[in-house]
Structure 1
Amino acid sequence: MTVRIQREPFDAAAEAKAITAGRTDIGAVVTFTGICRGSDDGQPVAALTLEHYPGMAEAEIERHVAEAERRWPLMGVTVVHRFGRMVPGDDIVLVVTAASHRGDAFAAAEFLMDWLKTRAPFWKKEERPGEAGWVAARDSDDDAATRWESAPDPTK
């Protein structure tokens, strides 16, 4: 498991390659990269600033990665989350999951993103032309994360 929170950009291809280096037992690698959009709900976004609680954010992400590793037979997981000011087009978050089979890798990546979006201690401030404000949680994100609470555990 690799969990990093950093200000600087990441290289998604290099992170995925690092998981598979020297391995022949991995049959699937799923990568998800979250990118800063230039608009939200049809309104322009000039920048997004992410703040976090150091130490707590890493621990919370590690806890969710451990849960993903318990639910699916993963052979590697990397989560990189950036903080600081980002402009449209900048990468924000990377989730890489590796498993013998694609279903496990896809499910684990989706699980992790749903939980990162709703439970990781990050705060987002959007800059729009002439204004800035903190982003409130969305019901749709909460609904996506909640479904995992009642989803069957594949290890049982």
Structure 2
Amino acid sequence: MLSFEENLRKESILNGPLAMRPEHVGGIEETDMNSFERVRAEDKRIINGHADVNQLVPFKYQWAWDKYLAACANHWMPQEIQMSRDIALWKDPKGLTEDERRIVKRNLGFFVTADSLAANNIVLGTYRHITAPECRQYMLRQAFE
């Protein structure tokens, strides 16, 4: 079994049981076979890197992966939360004052718009420039939320 630390040898790619032989894959030339090496953490860059953006490990930016895991742990979906008491309080004419209702509506309106703008900025403006996969993973998580 391969570990993430060992590099694939060119011979195993060309002659192994799952060999990628140039005659079976169109357009692969002999000079391209050097690109089958595993990505090394020191080769990764946050911006303008040339390492494979789809190979997540080994990590170079552990902080980004830690933030991704923390975001996953802190996330919840509306279907997972019992909100019947909140709905009853909102529908009850004596549950909230008009000022409290106005504050809730304005805050919801603000955060919905702010979240939409932030997600658009992440996906459309920033994500395409990031080349470290662990950073890209965290950014996509932010955009999802």
Same fold, TM-score > 0.5, yes or no: no
TM-score, scaled to structure 1: 0.20
Question: If each structure's helix is expressed as a fraction of its own residues, which one has the higher value?
Answer: 2
Q: Which has the larger radius of gyration?
A: 2
